[in-house]
Amino acid sequence: MKHFTVILLLGFAFLAISCGNGTEESMDYSQLSEEELMEIATDLAKNTIMVDGHVDLPYRMKVGGFTLQREILNVAERTEGGNFDFPRSKEGGLDAPFMSIYIPSRYQEMGGAKALADSLILMTERLTTTWPDKFGLAYGPDEIEENFEAGKISLPMGMENGAPIEDNLDNIRYFYERGIRYITLTHGKDNLIGDSSYDTTYTHGGLSEFGVEVVKEMNRVGIMVDISHVSDDTFYDVMEVSQVPVIASHSSARHFTPGFERNMGDEMIKKLAENDGVIMINFGGSFIDQDFREGNDAAREHIINWLAENELSRNDPEAQEYISAYVAENNPFPSVQRVADHFDHIVGLVGIDHLGFGSDFDGVGDTLPTGLKDVSMYPNLIAELLKRGYSKEDIEKFCYKNVFRVWKAVEDFAKASA
């Protein structure tokens, strides 16, 4: 009888996640075992389009010494290190990671921002020409759907830092034609567009006059405005200027990290939702948990001093062993449950229609939470969300429907403005 009950529960669960007529059987996932829940979550992840708003693979390739003149990093196979590659993406059900065309703030001062952006775009394109059976470019939701049906991983692109626009609005259309579909207006420092959450100079007091024109031109061209990294004043200026919904491609809820301006406060999240936008949750430990954030600063200082005293680098086996043990004992990582807490909090504020995944994989180093260490582990988060009462339709919204709604609204506005 016990065996029959388990089979019956799994049968109801399968019906709940595969029902195609828009309805969903009531299912209390909390009554299932962890193994049963993971089977359902994995099936859902692999059979639903999953978009991630921010994966830093292009810059990971650059830092690793890969260039257009050298052999490219073989992410078609399982890689040593990093958080993203094709096999792990397939295991986790990731179908459309936005490739971050990341431009460090120093390029604003030393020059070369546009050239760096071009090179990272070319490196991303090269992935799709080197392994055309595994990766495909995507310039909109339609291409993502086509690639999904073909079993390919889509590589849409977003530019992190508007510095490559330089002081020329024509570069916005240039980057649209190069495949860029969102631009994060600032990064670590204030730029020509506006003020950064990481800076303290408040150069413009929000968007600059030029920044206002940048947002308007992005609306006209059809590039999503990304407000991750901007200061609060810049955010509210964007909300006044933009005529279409905007995104936060990789931010989390400031409720859990008081004083961390890089995350979004409750009133900002409400304003974003009023604009019909989407916040895509960053998985980095310092973004999701205040205790880890504070402990990480102290642990980093200790490790730097220990490495210097012992004349070791982080790559030495002895150092890696020590660092792992020290962090585990003195600053344990938050868990996948903490990421789900951010979903709960934001749903409580603005409902189910304004959330997505924005992991920051390959961009937040070794701070990722237990259970979300790489792209193979999205089912762990989906299982936790199912356990908390979220439905199949809710999960589909988080995975792609919410961001597709914004993306299509931006596309429609641009077509009407042409």
Question: Mean of the pLDDT values across residues 390-412?
Answer: 97
Q: What's the pLDDT tens digit per position in 84-124?
A: 999 999 999 999 999 999 999 999 989 999 999 999 999 99
Cα distance between residue 250 and residue 291, in whole Å? 20
Q: Is the pLDDT of residue 4 over 50?
A: no
The amino acid present at 62, given as its one-letter code, is K
Residues in the chain: 418
Average pLDDT of the chain to the nearest whole number: 92
What pLDDT is recorded for position 385?
A: 97
Whose tokens are 């059979």? That residue is 47
Which of these, 170, 164, 132, lies nearest to 151 by C-alpha position?
132
- pLDDT tens, position by position, 13-68: 444 444 333 344 457 787 888 899 999 999 999 999 999 999 999 999 998 877 66
Whether 11 shows a pLDDT value over 90: the answer reads no
pLDDT at 366: 85
Reported as a single tens digit per residue, the pLDDT across 199-225 is 999 999 999 999 999 999 999 999 999
pTM, full prediction:
0.90
Residue 326: per-residue pLDDT: 84
The pLDDT score that the predictor gives to residue 314 is 83
pLDDT, mean of residues 141-160: 98
Among residues 409, 359, 285, 407, which one has the least CA distance to residue 56? 359
User: Which CATH code is given to the segment(s) 50-283+347-417?
Assistant: 3.20.20.140
How is the chain split among helix, strand and coil, in percent rounded to 5?
A: 55, 10, 35
Which helix H or strand E contains 98, and what residues bound it? strand 96-102
Query: 15: which 2 tokens?
Result: 């019906």
pLDDT mean over 183-189? 98
- pLDDT, position 26: 58
Residue type at 347? V
Phi, psi torsion values for 137, nearest 5 degrees = -65, 155
C-alpha distance from residue 289 to each of 246, 331, 334, 340 (Å): 25, 11, 7, 12
